Structure 1
Amino acid sequence: MSRPFDRQWLDSDQQRAWRLLIALMSALPQRLSRELVADSELTFHEFDVIVRLKEAPEGQLRVSALASTLGWERSRTSHQLARMESRDLVIRQRVPHDGRGAVVRPTQRGLDLIEHAAPAHLDFVQRTLFDPLTPEETLILGKALLAMARELEVDLSSVEASATLPSGPRSASATTVGQQHLNQYPASDEDEL
């Protein structure tokens, strides 16, 4: 015997917003990758990895911390890093004092490509995401996205340190990995090369 559905179906406004969000979640990374590859030879995911490494303390992160910051599984992170290493975008190195751990940092080529890509990437983000919105709509969008991110316990450490986030409850599992010093991360099996 099936259990009765005890929630209301989405109303028409919610259904439209949900479907728009799904469409944007699919289209935005694809479009970002196309734009980035055309301008810099970097995919969106490569760009994202290098930016997060560049912004990290000492310009490097443990592999497990990078995976956490990206919201990726360990295997996905390892595969992405292997592809990026083969393109001389990043390098993984063992941590000398613990033997099991590994850190990853961008190569000079990776940093150069990010610097080259940044102006066109910024232009794309401005033109596509913010030019169509009024300042008030941008504020509302930011608050809505933050509320959803908190509900999903998204790691918000990659949010620019200069951005001010409204206060509110946040789960302990939504960590601030990217803001901690490299030596404060305990070694784990996930850090292996």
Structure 2
Amino acid sequence: MKSNSKTRLDKFALLLFPLLALVFYALLLNTNRTVFENPEAVMYLYIDNAAKGNFGYGNSIRYANDISFSGLEIGDIILGGYPDCAYGRFSHVAMYVGNGQVIEAFVDYGVHIRPIDHFRDYKEVCLLRVEAEPEIKEKAVEYAQSLQGKMFYALAFKPGERIWNCSKLIWRAYLEEGIDLDPSRDLWISPDIFYKSEQISIIRERGV
């Protein structure tokens, strides 16, 4: 009798979880229809790159990029890119906090501050400047610093404050000050978005 009950429960579980997944997908589609209808949505970039065999961070060997970090100001944005990255041209983004350091979100450390020199490891590096007053940039940095120790998750959605990735951290820091560097209604944000933003100017970029 117990065996029959367990069998029925197992069958129920097998049906329940796919059903819940379908319900979740339907809710996601219904509340984010504009995202699914946007051919330039980040999720389609991920899918397209995955189909090409490009997953995650890319080919992360040390490329010894010789870009100069001189003249950086607090609040400037630094992009780093490895070949074959699933996210696009750039694999990672951080924000300059002064004294040769950046704040970023990374898989091994969560949200943390570290020296900017590790960006020399990337094949491509681009330095960006947000078109805003210094006071706004300082407040954006302060907000990002207040999140130190928060958990990293690569596919963190834009909404929510529990999990973060590198792009969400920088985007949200400026959003708190009224500057939306990604006005799209996408669920995710990739490092490439900052490069394309109309509110940002390029300081310099270098590829190996």
Please report the TM-score for the alignment, with normalisation by the length of structure 2.
0.26
Q: Which entry has the higher C-alpha Rg, 1 or 2?
A: 2
Q: Name the structure where strand makes up a greater proportion of residues.
A: 2
The structure, 1 or 2, with the larger RCO (C-alpha pairs under 8 Å, 6+ apart) is 1
Q: Name the structure where helix makes up a greater proportion of residues.
A: 1
Please report the TM-score for the alignment, with normalisation by the length of structure 1.
0.28
